[in-house]
Amino acid sequence: MSNSSQVAGMAKLRIASPILRLPSPILRRGPVAPSQPANPSVFLASRTARPLWFDGRFLAAADLRREQNYFLRRQAAFGQAAGPGILHGLTVDQGSSGQIATNETLIIRAGVGITPSGELVMISSDLTIQLTDLADQENLDEQFGVSESPQQPARTRTGIYVIVLRRVKFTANPIVSYPSSLGTAPVAQDGDIVEATAVSLIPYPNPITNSDPATQQAMLARQIFLEGSFISLPDSVLPLAMVGLDRNAIQWLDMFLVRRESGPQTSAVRLDLSDPATQQACLLQYDAKLKAIVGSLAANTAINATTYFQALPPAGALPIASINTTSFTQVFFPPLTNVRLSLVPSDELPALIEEGISLPPIDLTQPASTFANLAVAVLVPVPRANYASAKATAPDVNLTATPLRLPILRPPLPILRLLPGGLAPGLPVSSGTGWPGIVSGMSYAFYTRLRDQANYVPMPVVTS
């Protein structure tokens, strides 16, 4: 019997043999156009269709690719539901213990994040990378050989950039495929799809003409956190940090200007308020900048917020040296600000900070007269066991402003270079009872913006 007759006989057996069909929850129906579902109450998503496998169905590579794409889209949908941002890790700095920090070296810590498109990006171990090895976003395809556009030399990079992660994939590990027909020679093709995470730079359209690094950060923080203006990044990238470059040399590095923690957005009515992730980033960016400023000055040096910042988060820390508990004056906030110094039990401080951070940031670029309508509470935490006795000797008190006297008007960083002792002499903190004794030895207090109390006018009662 020839091969053709054997195949014909097998075909007849398949057709004649009875097939046992079990009840299935899958609705069997003919091909329906995705844009014209048979039932108008059913939304037919064509991109979520997957192959239905059964014995005797011809298996092709296109069917397996379609099934892979189905599960990739479902995974991306779950990632979007979880919320874009950093899951853990992925911090960026210029150095660490055991490694030499240079002005052209970046260290990205191990971590996991989700892009706005729902894709998972991952760095399994700490990555040390040179800025000259990073590609711009528009030149990333050229790095993988899918674009012929020339790449700009990395040494010419000057300006503000956003460091981002992007999920990429490429084929590798070639294998020899079986011939699809007689007389066809075997062909070697890549056998694996390798998924990776690429680090790249996106230029920030910088409207800032000031070249001073500290002023650049202050202006960017005001634009992002107070004005809510930020560039629209592609959904396929996850921002990690913002960096200022001068001919590829790092001038400053700030994570929290663009870094956001992952999590679903609140469903509450927020009107014009920012989302919780942005509020948290505003507080963390300010806290990191404040600690860097205090660390660069001499101990017990009073600082004025307007010298270094253009906007403050509605709650945060402030140097205790900026408050004189003997004369009850302060130099941190603008002169007309209503500032009240109070003690607070330390276990209640987190709740007060969380409540205050939901208010709008404090715009320090407003005219001086506008701060007369701003009320701020400066909170000094003490253990609850000592709260009653401390409160008896340190009642609440209003603070008046004492302006700082600067020798000359220069940007903050040149002043720090010329005056090793800081911007102003340290305020003495005496020991003993009352406020001086309580704040003795402390480095930071905390502040929170207070809500303006609305005045409700009672409606007249109308009698018939």
Asked whether the predicted pLDDT for residue 276 surpasses 90, the reply is no
- pTM of this structure: 0.71
Of 110-119, 231-240, 406-415, 452-461, the range with the lowest mean pLDDT is 406-415
Tell me the helices (H) and strands (E) count for the chain, helix number first. 10, 20
**Residue 88: strand pairing partners:** 112
| pLDDT given at position 286 | 92
| Range with lowest mean pLDDT among 187-191, 353-357, 402-406 | 402-406
> What percent of the chain lies above the pLDDT cut of 70?
71
- pLDDT over 50 (residue 382): yes
Res 72 pLDDT > 80? yes
Domain ranges of the chain: 45-73, 84-147+154-174+190-264, 276-454
Q: What is the mean pLDDT of residues 198-206?
A: 84
Sheet of 111-114: strand order equals 85-89, 111-114, 120-123
Task: Name which of 47-61, 67-81, 197-211, 393-407 the model is least confident about.
Answer: 393-407
Higher-scoring residue by pLDDT: 426, 282: 282
Instruction: Report pLDDT digits (tens) over 112-125.
Output: 999 988 888 999 89
| Average pLDDT rounded to a whole number, residues 408-436 | 39
pLDDT over threshold 80, residue 146:
no
Residue 43's pLDDT band, with cuts at 50, 70 and 90, is low
Percent of the chain at pLDDT above 90? 23
Instruction: Look up tokens 């560039």; give the residue.
Output: 231
Quote the pLDDT of residue 363: 93
Using CA atoms, how far apart are residues 10 and 448, in angstroms rounded to an integer?
83
Is pLDDT above 90 for 45? no
Which amino acid, residue 31?
Answer: P
Higher-pLDDT residue of 280, 48: 280
Is residue 10's pLDDT more than 60?
no
Give, in degrees to the nearest 5, the angle at Cα 77 between 73 and 82: 145
pLDDT at residue 458, rounded to an integer: 57
Residue 290 has pLDDT above 70, yes or no: yes
Kindly tell me if the per-residue pLDDT of 411 is higher than 80.
no
pLDDT per position as a tens digit, 169-191: 888 888 888 777 777 788 888 88
Q: For residue 276, what is the DSSP state?
A: H
Q: Distances from the Cα of 381 to the Cαs of 136, 287, 385, 422, 432, in angstroms?
A: 47, 18, 12, 27, 18
Per the model's pLDDT, the better-predicted residue between 303 and 425 turns out to be 303
- The pLDDT, as a whole number, for residue 380 is 93
29-38 mean pLDDT: 52
CB 202 within 8 A of CB 164: yes
Give dist(CA 275, CA 224) in Å, integer.
Answer: 12
pLDDT at 82 over 60: yes
Pick from 13-17, 38-42, 225-229: least confident: 13-17
Q: How far apart are CA 293 and CA 135, in angstroms?
A: 32
Q: What is the per-residue pLDDT for 354?
A: 86
- C-alpha distances out from residue 229 to 220, 232, 432, Å: 9, 9, 49
Q: Which residue has the higher pLDDT, 110 or 146?
A: 110
Which tokens go with 40? 């108008």
Confidence label for 266 from pLDDT (cuts 50, 70 and 90)? low
On average, the pLDDT of the chain sits at: 76
What pLDDT, on the 0 to 100 scale, is given for residue 11?
Answer: 38
User: What does the pLDDT look like over 209-249, one tens digit per residue?
Assistant: 666 777 888 888 888 888 877 778 888 899 999 998 888 88
Cβ atoms of 211 and 414 within 8 Å: the answer is no
Question: What average pLDDT does the segment 75-87 reach?
Answer: 83
Which range among 97-106, 238-247, 268-277, 281-290 shows the weakest confidence by mean pLDDT?
Answer: 268-277
For 32-61, the DSSP string reads: --TTS-SSTTS---GGG------TTPPP-H
